[in-house]
Structures are given as structure tokens and as C-alpha cells.
Amino acid sequence: MNQNMTELNELIEITRDGQHFYQHAMAEVKDVELQHLFRDMAQAKTHIIQALSVKVAAHQEQPAQGGTLAGKLREMYADTKARLGDTDAVYVDQLDQTEERILAAFEDALTNAEPDVRALLAIELPKIRACHERMHRLNHGGQR
């Protein structure tokens, strides 16, 4: 597998971490507006995963099917921390940090990518930034 496809698969895994975490958090929070937001964010991640997977498959490679250990550990940490405090606030904070991780990974990948992969990342990056901004504003006292 060439370096660009390996990098895309890593982005798929990191994005899938976010998708799974939003789906999990949606079931854990009580606030209906947060549930709707988390559903929307999980769907946004699904669309990004699909776009990256199509590119990997177009290069006759197998798209990543799972997430990362770091993503699972963050989810477990949030579950534990939520039992000790404000569940909604804990998940918002941890999902904000997950968005930071996803954004950083996409920005890093953009710097080393070949032109066709760079074009795909340039299309997906505004979606990643929008998700990041939305969670960051929410976590730091903004609106949903």
C-alpha cells in the first residue's frame, strides 16, 4: 500500500473514532438537543469516511474498517468521568478534544499528500473544520 493510501486509511480510522464516539455519546446524554447534534455530527463523519473509502478503493486498496485504540480509550475515559460529574459537559468536552485530533490529522495529511489526495482532503477539510468549530464553540460556552 502506498504512503498516501496508508495515510487515508489512518484518517478513516481517526474519523471513525469520532463517528463511533458521537453515536455512543448520543445514547449517554439526556439533553435532546445534544442528542440531535451528536447524531448530525456522526452523520457528517459517515460522509467523510465514505469519501475517503472511495478514494482508497479506487487505488485497489482495502479501506480501513475499524477505529484506533486511542479513540476507544478516550470513549472509555469519558464514560468513567461522566459517572463522576456532569455527563453532558463531559461528553461535549471529550468530543471537542476528539475533533481537535481529527482536524490535526487532516491538516498534517494535507501537507504530505499527492495532488489527487490533496484535492480530496481540500474538499473534506472544510467539513472537518465546521465540525470542530461547532464542538469547540459548544464546549467553550457558545451555542449549539
What is the band of 142 on the pLDDT scale with cuts at 50, 70, 90? low
Q: Cell numbers 473534506 label which residue? A: 124
The tens digit of pLDDT for each residue in 14-29 reads 999 999 999 999 999 9
Q: Is the pLDDT of residue 143 over 60?
A: no
Cα gap 99→88, rounded to integer Å? 16
Q: Cell numbers 451555542 label which residue? A: 143
Question: Phi and psi of 142, rounded to 5°?
Answer: -90, -175
The tens digit of pLDDT for each residue in 33-59 reads 999 999 999 999 999 999 999 999 999
Question: Is the model's pTM score more than 0.95?
Answer: no
Q: Is the pLDDT of residue 3 over 90?
A: no
Domain 3-139 fold is Ferritin (1.20.1260)
